[in-house]
Amino acid sequence: MMQVVQIHRNPPRSPEAAFDPARMVPYGYDETDYGTPKREGTAVTLTIDGREVTVAAGTSVMRAAIEAGVNVPKLCASDSLQAWGSCRLCLVEIEGRKGYPASCTTPVEAGMTVRTQSPKLAQLRRGVMELYISDHPLDCLTCPANGDCELQDMAGAVGLREVRYGYEGENHLKDVTDASNPYFSYDPSKCIVCNRCVRACEEVQGTFALTISGRGFESRVSPGQDQPFMQSECVSCGACVQACPTSTLQEKSIIEFGQPDHTVVTTCAYCGVGCAFEAQVKGSQVVRMTPYKDGHANEGHSCVKGRFAWGYATHRDRVLKPMIRDRISDPWREVSWDEAFSYAARRMREIQAKYGRDSIGGITSSRCTNEETYLVQKLVRAAFGNNNTDTCARVCHSPTGYGLKQTMGESAGTQTFKSVEKSDVIVVIGANPTEGHPVFASRMKRRLREGARLVVVDPRRIELVDGVHVKADYHLQLKPGTNVAVLTALAHVIATEGLISEAFVAERCEAKSFAQWREFVSRPENSPEALQQASGVPPALVRGAARLYATGGNAAVYYGLGVTEHAQGSTAVMAIANLAMATANIGREGVGVNPLRGQNNVQGSCDMGSFPHELPGDRDVSDPTTRMLFERAWNVQISPEPGLRIPNMFDAALAGTFMGLYCQGEDIVQSDPDTQHVAGALSSMECIIVQDIFLNETAKYAHVFLPGSSFLEKDGTFTNAERRISRVRKVMDPLPGLGDWEVTQRLSSALGYPMNYSHPAQIMDEIARLTPTFHGVSFAKLDELGSIQWPCNEQHPDGTAIMHVDRFVRGKGRFLLTQYVPTDEKVTRKYPLLLTTGRVLSQYNVGAQTRRTENVQFYDEDRLEIHPHDAEERGIRDGDWVGIESRAGQTVLRATVTERVATGVIYTTFHFPESGANVITTDSSDWATNCPEYKVTAVQVTPVEQPSQWQRAYRSFSHTQQRLYEERATTAMAGK
Ligand code: SF4
Ligand code: SF4
Ligand code: SF4
Ligand code: FES
């Protein structure tokens, strides 16, 4: 059933009224804007309009009044921003004080007696409003914000009936609208210069793109240096639009469709931050996504993707009918769901009859919900009868699971995002949060502006190194592939300079493994000086960073794919865990080991048993007790043998032993390394079933296409990088007619293993029954609590915010030796440069969604970054086409000549299929998990004038596949 809440344009006036269970929101949904931020402090009691009110010291009079249910008019105040005190609408009278102080900037005092209403106050407020309205277009009835405008509300609240000054005086009514941003417009004629947008950009987003230019009457909001928004530093996060009390900054979707009539609270389906949003809907049309103030991961903030890039959900490229074909050279044929399922099941069974039970498998996706992912691995284990299930987490964070489990006993991050507010030292390794995890980056930057110190370990000069009001104390600009050398050198300094937290280690960690580790890292060959040649990092910087991490107070490590996607990815994760344990930076707020997960549900797909060796809850499939639990529940025998990992599936396909694949929501052709190897493997298979929303690169090799649903069409849960399980709620019915979970269920039934869930909530109930870390999790509980960080069990019925508080999950923390081993991807005379890869803010992963939105206006091609020195040596100028060649393949991109990369290092993104970034990446992978070494590829770069051979072949193949889709037979009914 759809979860709906009616929007209340006029916020409830008492806190109790905001907690109305009949409104069907997950938990105390309180739209009230309290005017100024909440404070923590000793209790202070005062009287407001005759009511005794007790609040925390430091609270504003305005907030105290609103908390007590007393409405105070306001325009420049908002509880997500520090008080500004410019509009003078919130004036009050305070006994014993002269004048009429602004309640938003006046802190409460014990015994204070405040009056918010009096004839004089009413007169003053009307005067203020008259001035505003006299310089405002009187187009309320046709204004897109009509009904959702605080200026309009306040005119009513103060009882404004006439404007004595007339409207003929000097005004801004002819000011020109800036519509340069694809998602919102800026109409200066409606601006009341309340400064909320400027403060939102500074305080909430941390970009500082806006100022108020001019003085007095000439004051106007100015992006950058009086530039249009699109040419300024603005990153389109939408915080200013959210903050604007008028229609000055307005979403274009609201201008086009009008105001919503209901909202559904759901979770963003892009990155691992897991921001909660209100999907605002008019009829069945989404008209706006606004960040949910009570979202535990984002607390009312957003980035350009979640906030604006949702139009792909109804893009014309969506494929909505099931399709089949015998060979990939045949045109597609639209069929009914029943025919698609029986065709798919028959072909998979035929393959098993011919090649054996283990000749087929499935790949689940970290884009899908926990419930959908759980069903795919269940189908593989129960209906296929093998453990050939893997997930795209294989190619991103599998070393995180392995490394953290080995050292601390749990395969997940240790903190909440909020924990960063208590950090004194922040270490960012192999992650670029401002691009990849932007909402968390805003939170981190706020803490850095408050004075936390920063260490960045990255081959590139990412924004955090030298950003606006944020500077790294240390940038360890290492050579790609040398994380373990640098992390071990940091440990060397900590061990040899007496910086180990001996008491913590003695109490909480294994004595034997610690002693071995201490001896190992203390060896001279692990000193920063000895490892400099490998890493390229000056020893003084390593020593300084190590001392800061060990002695600077609460120190937290945040790391990303720049750590995991290496031949020594698992070793690097262990090295980070070692550092945290040795310095006692674990088990409380402000510290910890924090993997920044790439996709929305990476954590969840790992938790749900997607890996071939693990059943849900990270439990080994070879363990008979665990197997028996699932065998009883599922009424099948489960094979004790771990199945194939994704790269093994490809190798087995080329060897002729793995011939059928069910691939849900994952574009392996574009996202996995060594594209030509992947394409070759898929071409060798006899039946590929792709379930997706678009005919993606993988679907071009498919024989069955099962149309999938976007997150707006789903009920379920995602688990973000904090282990936070959040609800995804259906905003509209699945466009193909069946939800993704129903598709898997029907496919399973066609294979002879019936599944009979009637709602995803029942799937979660089963997960909770069978998975100790999920005990007690249910949709009802999630609705009640808003979100739950697992483990959720009898000891922690509401979940666990911080892990390893009194003891490590495995008992004693275990130190592991982290010998640096140079990667095989070494520079040679033939391949003298190292290619590393990453993401940009506006595009997402393989770009299937963001490329189908206006985000292409921000970034429309993958470029190759190259240092000026390397460029000059090769005669490459900015914008030139360059060929990039590795031992795996060749592609051609345009060059951006920049000092963001060091000499010897080049960098690109992988958001556009025709770029072929993964044609270059090789089969090198992590020793423990097979996570591909995307971050290091030895290459040569030369100026060229035409696309690579692969690109020409790709275009031709894609053109053919598009034609086969367009020529599809459409006669069959594709109903249920
Ligand atoms: S959209 Fe975000 S970055 Fe751009 S001006 Fe507004 S607050 Fe600043
Ligand atoms: S654009 Fe909106 S938020 Fe910014 S100053 Fe003008 S009215 Fe205030
Ligand atoms: S930070 Fe991530 S989860 Fe949040 S809105 Fe952006 S893409 Fe979505
Ligand atoms: S709300 Fe207090 S001065 Fe504007």
Token look-up 């379920």 returns: 716
The CB of 89 under 6 Å from ligand 4? The reply is: yes
The CB of 77 under 6 Å from ligand 4? The reply is: yes
Q: Quote the strand ranges of 243-359, DSSP E.
A: 249-251, 262-267, 276-282, 285-291, 323-324, 333-334
Cβ atoms of 249 and 197 closer than 8 Å: yes
Q: Helix 511-522 to helix 569-582 angle, to the nearest 10 degrees? A: 110
Q: Looking at ligand 2, which residue's alpha carbon is closest to its atom 3?
A: 244
Cα–Cα distance measured from residue 806 to residue 588, given in angstroms and rounded to the nearest whole number: 9
- Confidence at residue 165, expressed as pLDDT on a 0 to 100 scale: 61
Mutation to probe ligand 4, out of 36, 71, 79, 84 (largest number of atoms < 8 A from CB):
84
pLDDT exceeds 50 at position 22? no
pLDDT exceeds 50 at position 4? no
pLDDT tens digits for range 195-245: 999 999 999 999 999 999 887 777 889 998 889 999 999 999 999 999 999
The CB of 709 under 6 Å from ligand 4? The reply is: no
Secondary element (H or E) of residue 804: none
Mutation to probe ligand 1, out of 178, 240, 304 (largest number of atoms < 8 A from CB):
240
Cα–Cα distance measured from residue 428 to residue 462, given in angstroms and rounded to the nearest whole number: 10
The CB of 193 under 6 Å from ligand 4? The reply is: no
Q: Which atom of ligand 4 is nearest to the CA of 62?
A: 2
Q: How far is the CA of 33 from the centre of ligand 4 (A)?
A: 13
The CB of 244 under 6 Å from ligand 1? The reply is: no
- Confidence at residue 655, expressed as pLDDT on a 0 to 100 scale: 97
Q: Which residues pair with 619 in a beta bridge?
A: 615
The conformation of residue 178, written as its DSSP 8-state character, comes to B
Q: How far is the CA of 270 from the centre of ligand 2 (A)?
A: 29
Closest ligand to C-alpha of residue 135 is 2
Cα–Cα distance measured from residue 480 to residue 905, given in angstroms and rounded to the nearest whole number: 8
- Confidence at residue 622, expressed as pLDDT on a 0 to 100 scale: 95
pLDDT tens digits for range 645-687: 999 999 999 999 999 999 999 899 988 888 999 999 999 999 9
Q: Tell me the mean pLDDT in the region 625-645.
A: 96
Q: Tell me the mean pLDDT in the region 401-427.
A: 93
Q: How far is the CA of 90 from the centre of ligand 4 (A)?
A: 5
Mutation to probe ligand 1, out of 203, 233, 235, 304 (largest number of atoms < 8 A from CB):
235
Q: Are strands 470-471 and 474-476 parallel, antiparallel or unpaired?
A: unpaired
Cα–Cα distance measured from residue 586 to residue 604, given in angstroms and rounded to the nearest whole number: 23
The CB of 904 under 6 Å from ligand 4? The reply is: no
Q: Which atom of ligand 2 is nearest to the CA of 200?
A: 3
Q: How far is the CA of 218 from the centre of ligand 1 (A)?
A: 22
- Confidence at residue 6, expressed as pLDDT on a 0 to 100 scale: 33
Q: How far is the CA of 727 from the centre of ligand 3 (A)?
A: 15
pLDDT tens digits for range 299-357: 999 999 999 999 999 999 999 999 999 999 999 999 999 999 999 999 999 999 999 99
Residues 6+ apart with CB under 8 A from 508: 581, 587, 807, 808, 812, 813
Q: Which atom of ligand 3 is nearest to the CA of 600?
A: 3
The CB of 236 under 6 Å from ligand 1? The reply is: yes
pLDDT exceeds 70 at position 889? yes
Q: Looking at ligand 1, which residue's alpha carbon is closest to its atom 8?
A: 201
Bond preceding residue 37 cis, omega within 30 of 0: no
Cβ atoms of 695 and 317 closer than 8 Å: yes
Residues 6+ apart with CB under 8 A from 550: 494, 499, 500, 582, 583
- Confidence at residue 554, expressed as pLDDT on a 0 to 100 scale: 98
The CB of 235 under 6 Å from ligand 1? The reply is: yes
Q: How far is the CA of 41 from the centre of ligand 4 (A)?
A: 23
The CB of 306 under 6 Å from ligand 3? The reply is: yes
- Say if residue 347 is exposed, middle or buried (CB neighbours under 10 Å; 0-12, 13-18, 19+): buried
Token look-up 């309340």 returns: 194
Q: Tell me the mean pLDDT in the region 507-533.
A: 97
pLDDT exceeds 70 at position 288? yes
Rg of the chain taking only CA atoms, in angstroms:
29
Cα–Cα distance measured from residue 303 to residue 442, given in angstroms and rounded to the nearest whole number: 10
Q: Which of residues 927 and 570 earns the better pLDDT score?
A: 570
Q: How far is the CA of 196 from the centre of ligand 2 (A)?
A: 6
**Percentage of the residues of the chain whose pLDDT score is greater than 70:** 95
The CB of 221 under 6 Å from ligand 1? The reply is: no
Cα–Cα distance measured from residue 699 to residue 692, given in angstroms and rounded to the nearest whole number: 8
Q: Looking at ligand 4, which residue's alpha carbon is closest to its atom 3?
A: 85
Q: Which atom of ligand 4 is nearest to the CA of 88?
A: 3
DSSP characters for 539-595?
Answer: HHHHHHHHHHHHHSSSEEEEE-HHHHSSTTHHHHHHHHHHHHHHTT--SSTT-EEEE
Cα–Cα distance measured from residue 90 to residue 154, given in angstroms and rounded to the nearest whole number: 11
pLDDT exceeds 60 at position 468? yes
Mutation to probe ligand 2, out of 197, 212, 241, 242 (largest number of atoms < 8 A from CB):
197
Closest ligand to C-alpha of residue 219 is 2
Residues 6+ apart with CB under 8 A from 95: 112, 113, 114, 115
DSSP characters for 379-442?
Answer: IIIIII-S--EEEGGGGTTHHHHHHHHHHHS-SS--S-GGGGGG-SEEEEES--HHHHSHHHHH
Mutation to probe ligand 1, out of 183, 191, 197, 207 (largest number of atoms < 8 A from CB):
207
- Whole-angstrom CA distances from 345 to 360, 565, 703, 708 are 11, 35, 12, 18
- How many Å is the maximal CA-CA distance in the chain? 92
Q: How far is the CA of 576 from the centre of ligand 3 (A)?
A: 26
Measure the CA dihedral 642/647/648/652, to 10°: 140
The token pair that represents 410 in the structure block: 């749990």
Measure the CA dihedral 471/476/478/484, to 10°: -130
pTM for the whole thing? 0.93
Cα–Cα distance measured from residue 400 to residue 602, given in angstroms and rounded to the nearest whole number: 11
pLDDT tens digits for range 477-519: 999 999 999 999 999 999 999 999 999 999 999 999 999 999 9
**Most confident by average pLDDT, 698-707, 783-792, 846-855:** 698-707
pLDDT exceeds 70 at position 168? no
Q: How far is the CA of 863 from the centre of ligand 3 (A)?
A: 23
Q: Looking at ligand 2, which residue's alpha carbon is closest to its atom 5?
A: 193
Mutation to probe ligand 4, out of 36, 66, 76, 246 (largest number of atoms < 8 A from CB):
76
Q: Looking at ligand 4, which residue's alpha carbon is closest to its atom 1?
A: 74
pLDDT exceeds 90 at position 28? no
Q: Tell me the mean pLDDT in the region 159-177.
A: 72
Q: Which atom of ligand 2 is nearest to the CA of 198?
A: 4
Q: How far is the CA of 840 from the centre of ligand 3 (A)?
A: 13
Secondary element (H or E) of residue 682: helix 675-684
Q: How far is the CA of 106 from the centre of ligand 4 (A)?
A: 10
- Confidence at residue 486, expressed as pLDDT on a 0 to 100 scale: 98
Q: Tell me the mean pLDDT in the region 3-15.
A: 35
pLDDT exceeds 60 at position 24? no
User: What does the mean pLDDT of the chain come to?
Assistant: 92
The token pair that represents 51 in the structure block: 């009511």
Q: How far is the CA of 441 from the centre of ligand 3 (A)?
A: 11
Among 605, 600, 598, 637, which residue's Cα sits nearest to residue 621? Answer: 637
Closest ligand to C-alpha of residue 129 is 4
Lateral strand order in the sheet of 592-595:
474-476, 453-457, 425-429, 555-559, 592-595
Q: How far is the CA of 793 from the centre of ligand 4 (A)?
A: 46
Cα–Cα distance measured from residue 838 to residue 909, given in angstroms and rounded to the nearest whole number: 5
Cα–Cα distance measured from residue 91 to residue 435, given in angstroms and rounded to the nearest whole number: 42
The CB of 74 under 6 Å from ligand 4? The reply is: yes
Cβ atoms of 32 and 98 closer than 8 Å: no
- Say if residue 966 is exposed, middle or buried (CB neighbours under 10 Å; 0-12, 13-18, 19+): exposed
Among 958, 951, 395, which residue's Cα sits nearest to residue 673? Answer: 395
Closest ligand to C-alpha of residue 209 is 1
Q: Which atom of ligand 2 is nearest to the CA of 192?
A: 7
Q: How far is the CA of 731 from the centre of ligand 3 (A)?
A: 18
Cβ atoms of 941 and 908 closer than 8 Å: no
Q: How far is the CA of 650 from the centre of ligand 1 (A)?
A: 44
Cα–Cα distance measured from residue 734 to residue 691, given in angstroms and rounded to the nearest whole number: 14
Cα–Cα distance measured from residue 196 to residue 219, given in angstroms and rounded to the nearest whole number: 14
The conformation of residue 81, written as its DSSP 8-state character, comes to S
Q: Which atom of ligand 4 is nearest to the CA of 86?
A: 3
The token pair that represents 486 in the structure block: 């640098």
Q: How far is the CA of 139 from the centre of ligand 4 (A)?
A: 25
Residues 6+ apart with CB under 8 A from 141: none
pLDDT exceeds 80 at position 810? yes
Q: How far is the CA of 246 from the centre of ligand 4 (A)?
A: 15
